[in-house]
Protein backbone atom coordinates (compact mmCIF):
# COMPACT_ATOMS: atom_id res chain seq x y z
CA UNK A 1 0.00 0.00 0.00
CA UNK A 2 1.25 3.42 -0.81
CA UNK A 3 0.33 6.14 1.72
CA UNK A 4 0.89 9.00 -0.75
CA UNK A 5 -0.52 9.53 -4.15
CA UNK A 6 1.86 10.51 -6.96
CA UNK A 7 0.48 14.08 -6.85
CA UNK A 8 1.17 14.40 -3.10
CA UNK A 9 4.73 13.13 -3.56
CA UNK A 10 5.41 15.74 -6.21
CA UNK A 11 3.97 18.47 -3.96
CA UNK A 12 6.17 17.43 -1.02
CA UNK A 13 9.20 17.47 -3.30
CA UNK A 14 8.34 21.00 -4.53
CA UNK A 15 7.97 22.21 -0.93
CA UNK A 16 11.30 20.71 0.09
CA UNK A 17 13.07 22.37 -2.85
CA UNK A 18 11.46 25.71 -1.96
CA UNK A 19 12.53 25.44 1.71
CA UNK A 20 16.09 24.55 0.69
CA UNK A 21 16.14 27.57 -1.63
CA UNK A 22 15.02 29.93 1.13
CA UNK A 23 17.76 28.64 3.46
CA UNK A 24 20.35 29.00 0.73
CA UNK A 25 19.27 32.62 0.17
CA UNK A 26 19.57 33.35 3.91
CA UNK A 27 23.01 31.77 4.09
CA UNK A 28 24.31 33.63 1.08
CA UNK A 29 23.13 37.14 2.05
CA UNK A 30 26.27 39.23 1.33
CA UNK A 31 26.35 41.05 4.70
CA UNK A 32 26.10 37.80 6.59
CA UNK A 33 28.73 36.16 4.43
CA UNK A 34 31.02 39.12 5.09
CA UNK A 35 30.30 38.93 8.81
CA UNK A 36 31.18 35.26 8.87
CA UNK A 37 34.39 35.97 7.02
CA UNK A 38 35.31 38.72 9.46
CA UNK A 39 34.74 36.55 12.48
CA UNK A 40 36.35 33.47 10.96
CA UNK A 41 39.56 35.15 9.78
CA UNK A 42 41.18 35.92 13.16
CA UNK A 43 40.39 32.41 14.39
CA UNK A 44 42.10 30.99 11.37
CA UNK A 45 45.01 33.35 11.84
CA UNK A 46 45.58 32.78 15.55
CA UNK A 47 44.36 29.35 16.44
CA UNK A 48 45.11 27.02 13.56
CA UNK A 49 48.70 25.83 13.69
CA UNK A 50 50.68 26.77 10.58
CA UNK A 51 52.04 23.82 8.61
CA UNK A 52 55.69 23.00 9.25
CA UNK A 53 56.74 24.09 5.76
CA UNK A 54 54.48 25.91 3.33
CA UNK A 55 55.15 24.69 -0.22
CA UNK A 56 57.16 27.14 -2.27
CA UNK A 57 55.50 28.10 -5.56
CA UNK A 58 57.13 26.04 -8.30
CA UNK A 59 56.93 28.43 -11.20
CA UNK A 60 58.86 31.64 -10.90
CA UNK A 61 59.56 34.41 -13.36
CA UNK A 62 62.95 34.80 -11.71
CA UNK A 63 65.86 33.19 -13.56
CA UNK A 64 68.77 31.25 -11.98
CA UNK A 65 66.37 28.73 -10.40
CA UNK A 66 65.15 31.33 -7.90
CA UNK A 67 61.67 31.41 -6.40
CA UNK A 68 59.75 34.51 -5.38
CA UNK A 69 59.32 34.66 -1.59
CA UNK A 70 56.69 37.41 -1.45
CA UNK A 71 53.90 34.99 -0.47
CA UNK A 72 55.94 32.17 0.90
CA UNK A 73 54.49 32.12 4.43
CA UNK A 74 51.93 34.17 6.40
CA UNK A 75 54.61 35.09 8.97
CA UNK A 76 57.01 36.43 6.30
CA UNK A 77 56.56 39.93 4.87
CA UNK A 78 58.67 42.01 2.52
CA UNK A 79 60.17 45.52 2.63
CA UNK A 80 62.84 45.34 -0.06
CA UNK A 81 65.11 48.25 0.85
CA UNK A 82 67.07 48.37 -2.42
CA UNK A 83 63.82 48.61 -4.38
CA UNK A 84 63.40 52.07 -2.79
CA UNK A 85 65.69 54.99 -1.96
CA UNK A 86 65.56 54.00 1.73
CA UNK A 87 69.03 52.41 1.75
CA UNK A 88 72.63 53.47 2.36
CA UNK A 89 73.15 54.54 -1.28
CA UNK A 90 70.01 56.73 -1.32
CA UNK A 91 69.26 55.29 -4.78
CA UNK A 92 66.79 52.72 -6.07
CA UNK A 93 68.97 49.77 -7.05
CA UNK A 94 66.27 47.20 -7.88
CA UNK A 95 64.25 48.43 -10.86
CA UNK A 96 62.96 45.09 -12.07
CA UNK A 97 63.84 42.74 -9.25
CA UNK A 98 61.78 41.20 -6.46
CA UNK A 99 62.44 39.29 -3.24
CA UNK A 100 63.61 35.81 -4.24
CA UNK A 101 65.86 33.00 -3.00
CA UNK A 102 67.02 29.58 -4.10
CA UNK A 103 64.17 27.12 -3.54
CA UNK A 104 65.78 25.18 -0.67
CA UNK A 105 66.78 28.45 1.03
CA UNK A 106 63.21 29.70 0.62
CA UNK A 107 62.01 26.52 2.33
CA UNK A 108 64.36 27.22 5.24
CA UNK A 109 62.89 30.71 5.52
CA UNK A 110 59.40 29.26 5.45
CA UNK A 111 60.40 26.89 8.28
CA UNK A 112 61.67 29.93 10.22
CA UNK A 113 58.24 31.55 9.71
CA UNK A 114 56.53 28.43 11.07
CA UNK A 115 58.81 28.33 14.10
CA UNK A 116 58.22 32.05 14.81
CA UNK A 117 54.49 31.27 14.77
CA UNK A 118 54.97 28.77 17.59
CA UNK A 119 57.10 31.03 19.81
CA UNK A 120 55.69 34.50 18.99
CA UNK A 121 52.55 34.32 16.82
CA UNK A 122 52.18 38.12 17.06
CA UNK A 123 55.46 38.78 15.22
CA UNK A 124 56.60 38.57 11.59
CA UNK A 125 59.88 38.11 9.73
CA UNK A 126 60.35 41.32 7.72
CA UNK A 127 62.66 40.78 4.74
CA UNK A 128 64.95 43.68 3.76
CA UNK A 129 66.97 41.89 1.08
CA UNK A 130 67.39 38.40 -0.39
CA UNK A 131 68.97 37.36 -3.72
CA UNK A 132 71.05 40.25 -5.10
CA UNK A 133 72.45 40.43 -8.65
CA UNK A 134 76.18 41.02 -8.96
CA UNK A 135 75.45 44.12 -11.08
CA UNK A 136 73.78 45.64 -7.99
CA UNK A 137 76.69 44.54 -5.78
CA UNK A 138 79.01 46.51 -8.10
CA UNK A 139 76.89 49.65 -7.70
CA UNK A 140 76.97 49.25 -3.91
CA UNK A 141 80.72 48.78 -3.97
CA UNK A 142 81.21 51.91 -6.12
CA UNK A 143 79.26 53.86 -3.51
CA UNK A 144 81.62 52.89 -0.63
CA UNK A 145 84.99 52.36 -2.39
CA UNK A 146 87.76 54.62 -1.05
CA UNK A 147 85.65 55.35 2.05
CA UNK A 148 85.99 53.89 5.57
CA UNK A 149 82.79 51.94 4.86
CA UNK A 150 84.30 49.78 2.07
CA UNK A 151 84.95 46.95 4.55
CA UNK A 152 81.21 46.65 5.18
CA UNK A 153 80.29 45.83 1.57
CA UNK A 154 81.43 42.58 -0.10
CA UNK A 155 83.77 43.25 -3.04
CA UNK A 156 82.02 42.22 -6.28
CA UNK A 157 85.09 40.19 -7.37
CA UNK A 158 84.84 38.05 -4.23
CA UNK A 159 81.04 37.67 -4.50
CA UNK A 160 78.82 37.01 -1.47
CA UNK A 161 76.01 34.66 -0.49
CA UNK A 162 73.36 37.19 -1.59
CA UNK A 163 74.76 36.90 -5.14
CA UNK A 164 73.84 33.19 -5.16
CA UNK A 165 70.37 33.60 -3.61
CA UNK A 166 71.58 31.95 -0.40
CA UNK A 167 71.49 34.82 2.13
CA UNK A 168 68.73 36.94 3.57
CA UNK A 169 68.65 40.26 5.44
CA UNK A 170 65.71 40.65 7.79
CA UNK A 171 64.34 41.83 11.10
CA UNK A 172 61.36 41.04 13.34
CA UNK A 173 58.25 43.20 13.08
CA UNK A 174 54.77 43.38 14.54
CA UNK A 175 51.77 42.36 12.43
CA UNK A 176 51.63 45.86 10.88
CA UNK A 177 55.24 45.52 9.67
CA UNK A 178 56.59 47.98 12.24
CA UNK A 179 60.11 46.71 12.93
CA UNK A 180 61.15 45.79 16.46
CA UNK A 181 63.93 47.94 17.93
CA UNK A 182 67.24 46.21 17.20
CA UNK A 183 69.45 49.08 18.35
CA UNK A 184 70.62 50.10 14.88
CA UNK A 185 69.04 50.49 11.48
CA UNK A 186 69.52 47.93 8.70
CA UNK A 187 72.89 48.50 6.96
CA UNK A 188 74.27 50.50 9.88
CA UNK A 189 78.03 50.60 9.41
CA UNK A 190 79.59 50.33 12.87
CA UNK A 191 80.32 48.15 15.88
CA UNK A 192 76.78 48.49 17.30
CA UNK A 193 75.54 46.26 14.44
CA UNK A 194 77.85 43.42 15.56
CA UNK A 195 76.47 40.37 17.36
CA UNK A 196 79.47 38.94 19.22
CA UNK A 197 79.75 41.42 22.07
CA UNK A 198 76.16 42.45 22.70
CA UNK A 199 76.51 42.04 26.49
CA UNK A 200 79.38 44.49 26.40
CA UNK A 201 77.37 46.87 24.18
CA UNK A 202 74.55 46.74 26.74
CA UNK A 203 76.99 47.33 29.62
CA UNK A 204 78.39 50.36 27.76
CA UNK A 205 74.90 51.73 27.14
CA UNK A 206 75.17 51.36 23.33
CA UNK A 207 72.36 48.80 23.29
CA UNK A 208 69.49 48.35 25.73
CA UNK A 209 68.68 44.94 27.19
CA UNK A 210 65.43 44.95 25.18
CA UNK A 211 67.25 45.60 21.88
CA UNK A 212 69.71 42.78 22.63
CA UNK A 213 66.80 40.45 23.51
CA UNK A 214 65.07 41.29 20.20
CA UNK A 215 68.21 40.38 18.28
CA UNK A 216 68.56 37.15 20.26
CA UNK A 217 64.98 36.19 19.36
CA UNK A 218 65.66 36.82 15.64
CA UNK A 219 68.79 34.64 15.86
CA UNK A 220 66.96 31.91 17.77
CA UNK A 221 64.32 31.67 15.04
CA UNK A 222 66.78 31.76 12.12
CA UNK A 223 69.28 29.33 13.69
CA UNK A 224 66.41 26.93 14.43
CA UNK A 225 65.67 26.86 10.68
CA UNK A 226 69.33 26.11 9.89
CA UNK A 227 70.63 29.58 8.98
CA UNK A 228 74.04 30.88 10.14
CA UNK A 229 74.98 34.29 11.46
CA UNK A 230 77.83 36.61 10.50
CA UNK A 231 79.57 38.63 13.19
CA UNK A 232 79.20 42.16 11.84
CA UNK A 233 75.48 42.40 10.93
CA UNK A 234 72.57 41.39 13.18
CA UNK A 235 70.22 41.35 10.16
CA UNK A 236 72.23 39.03 7.87
CA UNK A 237 71.83 35.23 7.73
CA UNK A 238 73.51 32.70 5.41
CA UNK A 239 71.98 29.39 4.37
CA UNK A 240 75.39 27.75 3.80
CA UNK A 241 79.08 28.63 3.31
CA UNK A 242 80.27 30.62 0.29
CA UNK A 243 82.05 27.59 -1.21
CA UNK A 244 78.87 25.47 -0.82
CA UNK A 245 76.84 28.21 -2.51
CA UNK A 246 79.33 28.32 -5.40
CA UNK A 247 78.97 24.55 -5.86
CA UNK A 248 75.19 24.46 -5.61
CA UNK A 249 73.88 27.62 -7.27
CA UNK A 250 74.60 29.81 -10.29
CA UNK A 251 76.00 33.30 -9.79
CA UNK A 252 73.26 35.86 -10.30
CA UNK A 253 74.63 38.41 -12.73
Burial letters for 95-132: b for 16+ Cβ neighbours within 10 Å, e otherwise? eebbbbbbbbbbbbbbbbbbbbbeeeeebbbbbbbbbb
State which residue, 215 or 236, has the beta carbon closest to Zn ion.
Answer: 236
82 vs 6: CA distance, rounded Å: 76
Between residue 64 and residue 103, which ones bind Zn ion under the rule CB under 5 A? none
Q: How far is the CB of 231 from Zn ion (least distance, A)?
A: 13
- Pick 202 or 244: Cβ nearer Zn ion: 244
Separation CA 8–CA 15 (nearest Å): 11
Size of the site for Zn ion (CB under 5 A): 2
Q: Which residue in 79, 107, 169, 187 binds Zn ion (CB under 5 A)?
A: 169
CB of 201 to Zn ion, least distance (A): 20
Q: Which stretch binds Zn ion (CB under 5 A): 19-27, 51-59, 84-92, 162-170?
A: 162-170
Contacts of 46 (CB under 8 A, 6+ apart): 121
Residue nearest to Zn ion (CB): 236
Dist. CA 118–CA 49, nearest whole Å: 8
Smallest gap from Cβ 162 to Zn ion, in A, equals 6
Q: Where are the alpha helices (DSSP H) in the chain?
A: 6-27, 30-47, 103-119, 134-144, 198-203, 209-224, 242-248
215 touches Zn ion (CB under 5 A): no
- 73, 81, 124, 236: residue in contact with Zn ion (rule CB under 5 A): 236
Q: Quick one: which segment of 79-87, 120-128, 145-153, 168-176 binds Zn ion (CB under 5 A)?
A: 168-176
Residue 165 DSSP one-character state: T
Judged by CB under 5 A, the stretch of 25-33, 50-58, 149-157, 231-239 that binds Zn ion is 231-239
**β-bridge pairing 228-229 and 236-238:** antiparallel
Residues 29-58, one symbol each (x = binds Zn ion by CB under 5 A, - = not), give ------------------------------
Q: Which one of the spans 24-32, 105-113, 163-171, 243-251 is the region binding Zn ion (CB under 5 A)?
A: 163-171
Assess contact for 117 and 110: CB atoms under 8 A: no
**Residues found near Zn ion in the complex (CB under 5 A):** 169, 236
Amino acid sequence: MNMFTRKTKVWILVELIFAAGVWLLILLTPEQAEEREQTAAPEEDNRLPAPAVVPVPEASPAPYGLVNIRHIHPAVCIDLKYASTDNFTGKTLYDNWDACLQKDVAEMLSAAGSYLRTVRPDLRLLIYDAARPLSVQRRMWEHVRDTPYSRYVAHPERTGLHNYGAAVDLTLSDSLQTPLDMGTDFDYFGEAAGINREDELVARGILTARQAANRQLLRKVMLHAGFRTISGEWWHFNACTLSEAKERYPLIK
